[in-house]
Amino acid sequence: MTKKIDNQKTNNFFPMLSKYNMNEVKIEDQGLARYINLETENIYKGGAYNNKLFAKSKMPIVERLINNIMRTENYNGKKTKAYKVVYEAFEIIDKKTKKNPMQVFIDALQNSAPKEETTRLRFGGINVPKAVDVSPQRRLDVAIRNITLGTLNATYKNKKSVENCLADEIIKASKNDVSSFAVAKKNDAERIAKSAR
């Protein structure tokens, strides 16, 4: 599925994406397509989505990546710093892959979003694992979280910059490489769910 985006309207708040054509970006996973917002005009307006049911699906996907980078103490509350990390990472992705970085990021999300997880059911004092399907909103949340966690784990005790680590994680996940933290986590979750069917 291709989403049509007016390039005149976009990129007011997120100029890094002005070089890339958003109309080329294809979302093949139809379950996630509804929850991925490719528009970038409302960046930095996250407060508009607070305490509203399913409102985060209207938030630009790039802003959600920036917000997830702000989870750790180095970037906590420092949105401009997190924005610069994503900006640099997208530049690196563009140089390494020679593809639209937004397409690479969307492919990474699709490859690292788990389709099945396990939940615990309690039967007479025993916990029994049971496989359940994952909702598209949660699939996207888990994928973004695992990409950023993999990035931040890779920077720990490493001379590599966080921008390079984020770019590497996104590129590996887009290729469905098992060495990617996000893809490995997805495979683990699905393997455990398969055994709990």
Does the residue 9 lie in any domain? no
DSSP strand E in the chain: where?
Answer: 116-123, 126-133
Band of the pLDDT at 10, cuts 50, 70, 90?
A: very low
Does the residue 7 lie in any domain? no
Does the residue 8 lie in any domain? no
Does the residue 172 lie in any domain? yes
Does the residue 3 lie in any domain? no
The pLDDT tens digits for 72-126 are 778 888 888 888 899 899 999 999 999 999 999 999 999 999 999 988 888 888 8
What is the C-alpha separation between 78 and 67, in angstroms, rounded? 9
Q: Which residues have a Cβ under 8 Å from the Cβ of 8 and sit 6 or more positions away?
A: none
The pLDDT tens digits for 118-153 are 888 888 888 888 899 999 999 999 999 999 999 988
Does the residue 157 lie in any domain? yes
CA geometry: angle 156, 173, 140, nearest 5 deg: 95
Where residue 130 sits, what CATH number does that domain have? Answer: 1.10.455.10
Q: What's the pLDDT at 83?
A: 87
Band of the pLDDT at 55, cuts 50, 70, 90?
A: confident
What is the C-alpha separation between 93 and 91, in angstroms, rounded? 5
Q: How many domains does the chain have?
A: 1
Does the residue 2 lie in any domain? no
pTM across the whole model: 0.84
What is the C-alpha separation between 103 and 29, in angstroms, rounded? 13
Q: What are phi and psi of 147, to 5 degrees?
A: -65, -45
CA distances (Å), origin 190, targets 54, 61, 132, 143, 196 = 25, 24, 10, 13, 10
CA geometry: angle 1, 55, 153, nearest 5 deg: 80
Identify the domain containing residue 92 by its residue range. Answer: 15-195
Does the residue 107 lie in any domain? yes
